[in-house]
Amino acid sequence: MKSQNKGRRVFIKQSSLGTLGLTILPYSINGTAPSDTLRIAHVGVGLMGKSHINWFAKLPEAKIVALCDVDQIHLSSSISNLKAMKYGSEVDTYEDFRYILDRKDIDAITCATPDHWHATIGTLAFQSGKDVYGEKPLSYDVGEGQKMLANQKKYNNIFQLGTQIHAGDNYHRVTEIIKSGVLGNIDKVRLWKTGDTPELKMTKGQSVPSTLNWDMWQGPAPVRKYFPERCDWTFRYFLDYSGGMFGDFWSHIADIVYMSLNPKGLRIIKARGEKAKGVSDTPGWIDVDYEFNNLKIHWTSEPPDVPGAKDRSIGAYFEGEKGTLICDYDSMEIRLNGQTLSDLKEVPISIKRSPGHQQNFIDSVKSRNQPESNLEYARKMTLPMHLGLISWRLGESLKWNPEKEKFINNNKANQLLNRKARKAWRLI
């Protein structure tokens, strides 16, 4: 294993590719992968990043050539896992992802960092000619998503959002049934995710571990004093980095709404809720009402009072003029003409089934055809989550102009659409 890390003090002082002495190299593969083997680097190899490694290591058309993480413990653990899989030892490690972007022999990256890094890494990867398999949520805020899309289109990169459930047969079948019209016009969808937000307490008197580059971990986020609860999996319960359980799960279940109905013309966002207990500042619970053209979507932190909801910790309930459909990741239940059904055989299979989310990404890179969970789709699907959090933070019902992507007559809300990155890490 090669290691090309630099000391923390050096990285703290360096904020751009230029100061690192790196050069962003243009994509010169003429629209195809350089060979039958896709050379992949994984950026962020903590809990979710390890899953990325396990998935891609099993695919014969992918070769993992580099790993990157600001936590040396994560890097060491991931190398050990690869060796246990008898994957080989020729894997380079980095503390700074920009070294990976500078390598013209790497075709694509996966990104499983905390949420506030997703858009920066993805955008810079596009500029360096690399395709991206990026974890959800797509971006920290609306402005970052806009930058990602503009760069992806400019450089013609492949992007796939890591909503793995999207590739499942159940979501494809639900979409076929909804689109068939058999339930009639659907004017309301209820979404929910249950589960308690943990009550986090600050661990006092702890210094930054010698194995962690805390400055780079924070990156574009505001500078904060280190304590362990801000890192690892609980980072998502701080607004500096994420949007709590709502921000975590929205993309997974709203995905089926956008697959099947493609909501348009969002106009009204109204959120209610309470802050989580302890030191976290994301919602402990949040309910949000959305009004689109001819469609209302209601998100709740508890199952709605509809048949089958209480048995599902996460779900979507479609209300049509002729019938209803409830689903979660792996199952569905249809109520139509006084019958409760698990499927409708008269609705034909019309959507090609996925070979697997990760294989779908590799196939898209090679064909240069965007996958189902492409960036444009992902941005539309993620947008309401960002707006719901803004409504919750301000405690106001908000009016939205979907054409201009601005709130109407609300400067406070518009200021929250795009956080200005910390100067030292203002990379996009």
| Same domain? 158 vs 117 | yes
Decide if 320 is inside a domain: yes
Looking up tokens 């924070």 gives 218
Tokens of 79: 């190398």
Q: Express each pLDDT in 209-225 by its tens digit.
A: 999 999 999 999 999 99
d(CA 129, CA 138): 19
Distances (CA, A) of 257 to 172, 302, 308, 381: 11, 18, 18, 9
| Same domain? 128 vs 181 | no
Total domains in the chain come to 2
Of the candidates 181, 213, 193, 169, the residue with the CA atom closest to the CA atom of residue 332: 169
Domain stops at, among 149, 166, 183: 166
- At 240, is the pLDDT very low, low, confident or very high (cuts 50, 70, 90)? very high
Domain stops at, among 166, 183, 211: 166
d(CA 373, CA 362): 13
Distances (CA, A) of 176 to 169, 182, 201, 296, 424: 11, 10, 46, 21, 48
- At 30, is the pLDDT very low, low, confident or very high (cuts 50, 70, 90)? very low
Bond before 137 cis per omega within 30 degrees = yes
| Same domain? 22 vs 145 | yes
Decide if 215 is inside a domain: yes
Decide if 364 is inside a domain: no
- At 61, is the pLDDT very low, low, confident or very high (cuts 50, 70, 90)? very high
Decide if 222 is inside a domain: yes
With H, G, I as helix, E, B as strand and everything else as coil, classify residue 237. Answer: helix
Decide if 257 is inside a domain: yes
d(CA 327, CA 254): 12
Q: Report the pLDDT averaged over residues 416-423.
A: 97
Segment holding 91, helix H or strand E: none
Q: Express each pLDDT in 316-330 by its tens digit.
A: 999 999 999 999 999
pLDDT at position 26, please? Answer: 32
| Same domain? 234 vs 214 | yes
Kindly report the average pLDDT of the chain as a whole number: 92
Give CA angle at 105 (100, 111), nearest 5°.
Answer: 40
More confident residue, 233 or 129: 129
| Same domain? 188 vs 331 | yes
d(CA 44, CA 70): 8
| Same domain? 267 vs 336 | yes
| Residue 25: CATH number of its domain | 3.40.50.720
Of the candidates 315, 317, 279, the residue with the CA atom closest to the CA atom of residue 195: 315
How many CB atoms are located within 10 Å of the residue 221 CB? Answer: 22
Dihedrals φ, ψ of 237, to 5°? -95, 20
Decide if 369 is inside a domain: no
Rounded to a whole number of angstroms, the distance between the first and last alpha carbons of the chain is 31
| Same domain? 161 vs 221 | no
| Same domain? 317 vs 392 | yes
Decide if 319 is inside a domain: yes
With H, G, I as helix, E, B as strand and everything else as coil, classify residue 283. Answer: strand
| Same domain? 235 vs 155 | no
How many CB atoms are located within 10 Å of the residue 121 CB? Answer: 24
Residues 134 and 161: beta-carbon distance below 8 Å:
yes
pLDDT at position 8, please? Answer: 32
| Same domain? 287 vs 416 | yes
Kindly state the DSSP code that residue 158 receives in the 8-state scheme. -
Ramachandran region of residue 198, left (φ > 0), alpha (ψ -120 to 50) or beta? beta
d(CA 155, CA 158): 9
Domain stops at, among 166, 185, 217: 166
The answer, yes or no, to whether residue 35 has pLDDT greater than 70, is no
**Residues of the chain above pLDDT 90, percent:** 88
| Same domain? 175 vs 198 | yes
Distances (CA, A) of 163 to 149, 158, 291, 319, 373: 18, 15, 24, 24, 8
| Same domain? 69 vs 20 | yes
The domain of 120 spans 8-166
How many CB atoms are located within 10 Å of the residue 310 CB? Answer: 13
| Residue 392: CATH number of its domain | 3.30.360.10
